Amino acid sequence: MKTNLLSINSDAKTSKGNTGYLTGILYLTPAGQAGLKNLCPRASDGCKAACLYTAGRGKFSKVQQARIKKTKYLFEDRESFIDVLKSDIRILIRQAKEKGLKPAVRLNGTSDYPFHRLIDFEAFKNVQFYDYTKIVQKALDHANGKLSKNYYIVFSRSENNWKECIKVLKAGGNVAAVFKNELPMTYNRFPVLDGDQNDSRFLDEQGCIIGLKAKGDAKKDKSGFVIWQLKLNFTAQAKPYKLYPLNDGILIPPYIATV
């Protein structure tokens, strides 16, 4: 049986991850796209411009139209939408069992909507729910054990919320950040994990940066939403140089680049 709202293992990361999970993702229209209600209330200007809505299959008009249709359905008949969504989750559970996999669901593939207030996740106790969010209180509630035990949250960095990122990291949560080039080993002294290997964020170590490479329109970002890593070789200088602040307070050390 096919699902009506969830896309099952259609994302490159969920299909190649090989983490033992069958993943269903709900893709809607984010941040006021197509004149619809804003489903990403904390989206920054950089986030809106670099949104994953344009990445992968999302760049095709037919895919975008399908997402617009789903979003209109949510706001025109929310009760019916939630009923169908629950039915899709049950279908995913059966498909996962048939394949010998565990079911996972991400309801905010391209949105930041409070589905956790509309669906009792613990009623689906064998399903691992997870999301990315820019709502810091939601991320802190997760880090402090105030949300459903089977609901995992990753906070998302933007060009203007690093102080909130620090709060989440210090609480033991994880923060996703987008990088222009290769992922660094650490960022602002926090270890960086490769978030492009799979989408099973609930398996990650805690207190880490989840590094993601820029995709879609994010490759053209100039707002600071995407972190630019300089590919330079350095040689130490005896003469001291002034330290210059870069992204989120990172400092350039007293070195100069060499060819």
Q: How many CB atoms lie within 10 A of CB 135?
A: 18
pLDDT value of position 231 = 56
Which residues lie closer than 8 Å to 3 by C-beta, 6 or more apart? 24, 88, 91, 92
pLDDT (tens, 9 = 90+) of the chain, 259 residues, equals 678 999 998 766 666 557 899 999 999 987 666 677 888 888 888 887 877 555 445 455 788 889 999 999 999 999 999 999 999 999 999 999 999 999 999 999 999 999 999 999 999 999 999 999 999 999 999 999 999 999 999 999 999 999 999 999 999 999 999 999 889 999 999 999 999 999 999 999 999 999 999 988 888 888 999 998 765 544 444 444 444 444 454 443 333 333 2
pLDDT value of position 45 = 84
- Helical ranges in the chain per DSSP H: 12-16, 45-49, 61-76, 78-99, 136-143, 162-170
Cα gap 28→7, rounded to integer Å? 11
13 φ/ψ angles, rounded to the nearest 5 degrees: -70, -35
Which residues lie closer than 8 Å to 156 by C-beta, 6 or more apart? 47, 132, 133, 134, 175, 176, 177
SS3 string of 119-167? CCHHHHCCCEEEEEECCHHHHHHHHCCCCCCCEEEEEECCCCCHHHHHH
Cα gap 93→124, rounded to integer Å? 9
72 φ/ψ angles, rounded to the nearest 5 degrees: -60, -40
